[in-house]
Amino acid sequence: MVVGGGGREHALAWKLAQSPQVTKIFCVPGNGGTANLAKCLNMPMLPVDVSGITRFALVQGVGLVVVGPETPLAMGLADQLREQGLPVLGPGQAGAQLEASKVWAKELMQAEGIPTAPAQVFRELAPAQRYIEQQPLPVVVKVDGLAAGKGVTVAQTHEEAMQAVQAALEGKFGNAGHQVLVESFLAGEEVSVLALTDGETLYPLLPAQDYKRLGVGDSGPNTGGMGACAPVPWMSGELLQRVEQAIFAPLLAGLKRRGIDYRGVIYAGLMVTPQGEPFVVEFNCRLGDPETQVILPLLDSCWLELSLACAEGRLGQVPPPVWKPGWAATVVMVSGGYPGEFSKGYPVRGLDLAEATGALVFHGGTRRERGQTFTDGGRVLNITGCGATLAAALEQSYAGVKQVSFTDCYYREDIGWRLRGQ
Ligand code: AMP
Ligand code: GLY
């Protein structure tokens, strides 16, 4: 069973379906693309109904649950499923704090000596103001809780930082903003390093880079992700080893010390400084979207075998993931107006033609009705290309993109620009 309804979950279902041991896949709630996958059955289940999903999984005799998004994890879905004896890829509520509370994660990093930007926690305006005025610019303000990617402000002026703190403390993000972090700005190159772990063994996945901003050249507002590429060639074996030693090892020790049995994915959003030192910008308790849409197509190992071993606490007994040579790139096609207001319900044309180019079409916000696909969200489609070079992967992705059309469709033309020439 795959929980979630985005491009990440379509990619998960697509990869799981390749395992000969998989006889049936349930997607909760799934989308217009997962409905197409052989053996896939969508179930409408939103907002997250933790007990309903657990009952359904038990009745159907599900052999593995893979939870895509953070919200059900933060709500304790994995705990409930495990109480019923079901194997789950995804941490329980305690482990999900890594993403669900930036204050908790920062305190853990500070206690365990994990490199991250210095930060202070505030619950009141006046002390935050005094602190902010003393900080060099830019300065970063983060709300504590889950805020759908909108809780971080990289402020260029002290006033902007103050406004971000004020808005959060006044309730703009509800409970998520009752405390804020004010942290130093880190300069460098960003990279997403995801890893599978059962708390004992940790296998890093292929490093990926995502393109979060809406506009060309990484301009404009932050989004849930406009595209991604993997691998990241400047992320050398040596640097990856440093990430394992300086970040993942103390993190696992810290989780253990706190009595947390973590089985799932840890996503480290890293800033690598010009001196080549990796710092943690954020942890997520799940796979990235759209990173998954480039990582899984390059995975040569069986995702079912890895996930099940991880869920059952025997990851060390299966071999580490093996990767295909070459590159993958994904371009996200969004509804016009996203990440602000947008309309839904437009017919999507050209999906067959896009697939005929060899590109992989992972649906996000779509639904199927009477044999036709309609837009049903902000991030509508992820078109993934693979190739021997980054240029070839991008060419296949954009060839697929050009075949698809829907009203007010928008996508970035420059995905991969930060890695060109590598
Ligand atoms: P997210 O938590 O995914 O919304 O992250 C927001 C983005 O803000 C990150 O991807 C970084 O680009 C940026 N960011 C967050 N913290 C820092 C920091 N301390 N220094 C520089 N950039 C940051
Ligand atoms: N790609 C960013 C995220 O999944 O949070």
Asked if residues 220 and 213 have their Cβ atoms less than 8 Å apart, the reply is: yes
Name which of 115, 122, 118, 113 is nearest 136 in CA terms.
Answer: 118
* Residue 229: per-residue pLDDT: 98
pLDDT digits (tens, 9 = 90+) for 305-351: 999 999 999 999 999 999 999 999 999 999 999 999 999 999 999 99
Say whether pLDDT at 198 is over 90. Answer: yes
Residue 289 CA: nearest ligand 2 atom is 4
Name which of 149, 154, 147 is nearest 183 in CA terms.
Answer: 154
Strand ranges in 247-365 using DSSP code E only, listed in sequence order? 264-272, 278-284, 327-335, 360-363
User: Ligand 1 centroid to 237 CA: how many Å?
Assistant: 24
Share of the chain above pLDDT 70, in %: 98
Q: How many helices (H) and strands (E) does the chain have?
A: 14, 23
Say whether pLDDT at 420 is over 90. Answer: no
Smallest CA separation from ligand 2 atom 2, residue: 288
pLDDT (mean) for 16-28: 94
Ligand that comes closest to the CA of residue 147: 1
pLDDT digits (tens, 9 = 90+) for 146-169: 988 789 999 999 999 999 999 999
* Residue 46: per-residue pLDDT: 60
User: Ligand 1 centroid to 70 CA: how many Å?
Assistant: 18
Pocket test for ligand 1, best of 153, 282, 287, 291 (most atoms within 8 A of CB): 282
pLDDT digits (tens, 9 = 90+) for 392-413: 999 999 999 999 999 999 999 9
* Residue 174: per-residue pLDDT: 87
pLDDT digits (tens, 9 = 90+) for 223-281: 999 999 999 999 999 999 999 999 999 999 999 999 999 999 999 999 999 999 999 99
* Residue 36: per-residue pLDDT: 78
Ligand that comes closest to the CA of residue 210: 2
Residues near ligand 1 (Cβ within 6 A): 117, 140, 149, 152, 154, 183, 185-186, 190, 212, 222, 269, 271, 281-282
Share of the chain above pLDDT 90, in %: 90
Asked if residues 290 and 8 have their Cβ atoms less than 8 Å apart, the reply is: yes
Residue 290 CA: nearest ligand 2 atom is 1
Task: Report CA-CA distances (Å) from 375 to 26, 95, 341, 349, 368.
Answer: 22, 34, 14, 10, 9
Smallest CA separation from ligand 1 atom 4, residue: 149
Residue/partner pairs of 101-108 with CB below 8 Å, 24 or more apart = 101/144, 101/145, 102/142, 102/143, 102/144, 102/145, 102/151, 102/181, 102/282, 103/144, 103/179, 103/181, 105/282, 105/283, 106/181, 106/183, 108/251, 108/254, 108/255, 108/258
Residues near ligand 2 (Cβ within 6 A): 210, 225, 284, 288-289, 291
pLDDT (mean) for 351-367: 97
